[in-house]
Amino acid sequence: MSYSHVMRIDIVTLFPEMFAGPFDISIIARARESGLLEIALHNPRDYTADKHHIVDDYAYGGGPGMVMKPEPLFDCVDAVRAAGPRGRVVLLTPQGRVLNHQVAAELAREERLILICGHYEGVDERVRESLADDEISIGDYVLSGGEPAAIVLVDAVARHQPGVLGSAASLEEESHAQGLLEYPQYTRPPVFREMAVPEVLLSGHHAEIEKWRRQQSVLRTARRRPELLANATLSAAERRLVEAESGGEVSATPALLRVAVPVSDIERAAAFYAAALGTPGARVAPGRHDFDCGRIVLACVESADGEARPNAQPICFAVPDLAAAFERVREAGCQWIERRPKTRDGGERSFQARDPFGNPLCFVDERTASGSGRKE
């Protein structure tokens, strides 16, 4: 098998010996051996001009601890970059954006990453300002150095490299891949200390197993990390399951915002709503009036009078809070057509507005709707 994407990761660290071990076993070691991943370590101490190889100094203005000097870090990264592609320079810092599934997938698309591990009180601010392209934190706590963070990042990113995991399905099914936690896993024996494996998993009935796993995944997420459900795509039945589970307190009920946008206008409208709502939209097949509505949604499916528009392209946006969503699009130039919710066929309560391009919007309180959502 051949893979076009070989990833190169350069790690700038004062303590290269900390990486012996984590990169030499298991999946990372195999990825390196098969040439899918190249890792190189560089010590900024080797880029100092003084005889004591000083890499840190006191903080201007006083305060505890030492700060990593800019010159060895800039010189080290310049030298690393001189060979091969420029790469994306990532500073590991507790002040960066927090690493998650999406960030790992994004970084995995880079041809080359250059990771800078800080130490002591951190690095001179000019490294952050002028050398780093990105800043990543592995969580809201402070480590003594960037090395453990770099190990975590390399592992999370490497898993997204085609060919690194035995099966691409493992990555897709794992926790966070679809905004849900993974279902419970069991292996032999079927009964251990009187704890039995759920019968469905022993049944050999693949459709039933899939159904059970999906349900467990949804329930598990609702119990442990309900906030993740805001970005998960759930069917109407799954939403009801979540609501029953949370006693109605954690509502996965979507607020539904529909917009009729002519196909000719779709790119402009999609960009407008993505910017206004602060989230990228997902296209729904033209002509579909039923769609997966997790915590949704904006879909261009109707005109102001409720008639379907055959040339309209649906777009969906995850909108956790309908009122907040409307406030955002109102600030972006949308105006009310009617302010009072109306009860429409199927019982849903809705009201109308118009966007700056003249497209009608229809806001629907999905909790009152009986007809929308994925057909089950």
By CB under 6 A, name the binding residues for ligand SAM.
92-95, 117-119, 121-123, 137-139, 141-146, 149
Nearest residue (CB) to ligand SAM, 138 versus 296: 138
Positive or negative, the CA dihedral 270, 273, 276, 279 is negative
User: Which string of b and e fits 252-275 if b means at least 16 CB within 10 Å?
Assistant: bbbbbbbbbbeeebbeebbebbee
Alpha-helical regions (H) of 204-303 = 206-224, 236-245, 266-277
DSSP string of 94-123?
EEEEEP-HHHHHHHHT-SEEEEEE--TT-B
In angstroms, give the least distance from the CB of 78 to ligand SAM.
20
At 342, which helix (H) or strand (E)?
Answer: strand 342-343
Contact indicator for 347, 356 with CB cutoff of 8 Å: no
In angstroms, give the least distance from the CB of 67 to ligand SAM.
9
In angstroms, give the least distance from the CB of 120 to ligand SAM.
6
Nearest residue (CB) to ligand SAM, 123 versus 334: 123
DSSP bridge pairs for 361: 259, 353
In angstroms, give the least distance from the CB of 66 to ligand SAM.
10
Is residue 358 helix, strand or coil? coil
In angstroms, give the least distance from the CB of 176 to ligand SAM.
18
Nearest residue (CB) to ligand SAM, 115 versus 158: 115
Nearest residue (CB) to ligand SAM, 135 versus 182: 135
Q: Which amino acid is residue 179, in one-letter code?
A: G
In angstroms, give the least distance from the CB of 95 to ligand SAM.
5
Angle at 198 (CA atoms; ends 197, 203), nearest 5 degrees: 105
Nearest residue (CB) to ligand SAM, 138 versus 256: 138
Q: Tell me the residue nearest to ligand SAM as measured from the CB.
A: 118
Nearest residue (CB) to ligand SAM, 144 versus 185: 144
Nearest residue (CB) to ligand SAM, 93 versus 350: 93
Query: Which positions ≥6 away from 205 have C-beta within 8 Å?
Result: none
In angstroms, give the least distance from the CB of 9 to ligand SAM.
15
Count the alpha carbons within 13 Å of 63 in the hemisphere toward its beta carbon.
Answer: 9
